[in-house]
Structure 1
Amino acid sequence: MAIDAKEKWGARKAAPKRASILTIAHEDVATPRSEIFALASEDDVVQEIGKLWDTAQRTFLSIGRLLSHAERQFRGSFERDIVAKLPFNRSVAHMLRTVAEKVDQGYVPEAELPRSYAAAFRLVTLEPDALEQARQRGLVAPGTPRSAIERFRQELRTQRLAAHGEDALLAAKREELQGKIERARKEMERWSAELAGLERQIIDAKAEEA
């Protein structure tokens, strides 16, 4: 049977204008295409990924706006009937909602927002003076990674502690180490539980073979 030229592997299909439309907080949002197709050059790859990356940013802002709208509309049941059933946890929901609200309040223009929602959250929760410092350093930009903003926030924290003297620095370092120890303890408990479960499986398997 003859194969249509358009169906041959590698042939680029005409992309639909919109795979589907979501209306979020009175705003139409196109969901990204899911198919993979051949691209003619390296520049095409970069351009296509750039478009999808921009779509990802627009999507997390739209989700945040929807959450903000829903929180106001369903105030009595928002946490129980909406947040608890989302495919991400409460912390992520809080970050998405906060970013969207800050953008809509004009605190950080959408065009200057980092494309990562985690980086965007760390940026928009800076105090106004700190945000201005971040802007002067070129951190208020779409390409800014979360790690750069975290380093900036840590630098600000160190400066504030230094202004209160060495005792404050030492106390903060102690608190940081205590936090690391606590996280490591919880991780050890999880590993120990997994190991115990694995050992029980080994014992059961040997018992069945006997």
Structure 2
Amino acid sequence: MKLDGKVKLPRPAPDRYAGLFADDENGRRQEVIAYHSRSHTVERIKALWERARDDFLAIGRWLVVAKARMEHGEFEAMVRAELPFSPSRARQLRTVAEFVDSGRIPLERLPPADSVIYEIATLSEDELAAAEPDIRPTLTRIEAKAFKKRVQGAGAPPASDRPALVKRIARLRQELAEAEAMLAALDRNG
């Protein structure tokens, strides 16, 4: 089914996943999906989410060490040819790992999503100091991006405001010309 140019796929039945996983063909342990209760589900999802954060931090740390140890150009070539993500994503993962390992904000206060930590990690020292009271484990990426935009763009209007500002300047120049003419007339009549 197609809606507004997007393909809408039917949602699979919830039982489709029940008991599907155990050990995969590579011997990696996979989650067995078995719904017991809401609280059990919440507990499992939170645990998996924290594990994902830990895995992304470990990947970032491996990337930091690899970049430091490889010859110039070798790291980028490895990422492009052999890793399942782009050099941009590798840079983000390294930045997150370096930020977390710096201890500037304790890991317990950081959100569990590496994309949100990346937004925090790319703040300047002054911006980070201003943001620190708002940093919490439940901080969303949207909130982090909004805060970042606010502190980085303080005083600077968005580019979309340009036409309105040009019109305002023209109107103010006209008002100034009219006021100067009235003042000159007053001076002449004296």
TM-score under structure 1 normalisation?
A: 0.59
Matched residues in 2 for 1:157 and 1:115: separation? 24
CA contact (8 A) 2:79 2:85 kept: no
In the alignment, the residues of structure 1 paired with residue 140 and residue 152 of structure 2 have an alpha-carbon distance, to the nearest angstrom, of: 19
**Equivalent residue number for residue 131 of structure 2:** 134
Whole-Å Cα distance in 2 between the matches of residues 123 and 49 of structure 1? 24
1:9-59 per-position Cα deviation (integer Å, ceiling 9, x unaligned): x68x999xxx75xxxxxxxxxxxx523332321100000111000001101
**Percent pairwise identity:** 34
Matched, 1:60 2:56: yes
Deviations 1:67-96 (A, max 9, x none): 000001113211112344211111111000
1:103 and 1:113 mapped to 2: Cα distance?
A: 9
Matched, 1:123 2:123: no
1:145 to 123, 140, 146: 140
Structure 2 CA distance for aligned equivalents of residues 52 and 120 of structure 1: 18
| Residue identity matched to 2:59 | I
Note the aligned Cα RMSD (angstroms).
2.7
Partner of 1:114: 111
With normalisation by structure 2, the TM-score equals 0.64
Residue 48 (str. 1) matches residue 58 (str. 2): no
* Structure 2 unaligned spans of 5+: 1-17, 163-190
Q: Find the aligned partners of 1:170 and 1:67 in 2 and give their Cα distance.
A: 36
Q: How much has 1:170 moved relative to structure 2?
A: 6.0
Cα distance between partner residues in 1 of 2:140 and 2:158:
29
Aligned length: 141
1:160 Cα deviation after fit: 3.8
Letter of the 1:88 counterpart: F
Give 5+ residue unaligned stretches, structure 1: 1-9, 21-32, 162-168, 175-210
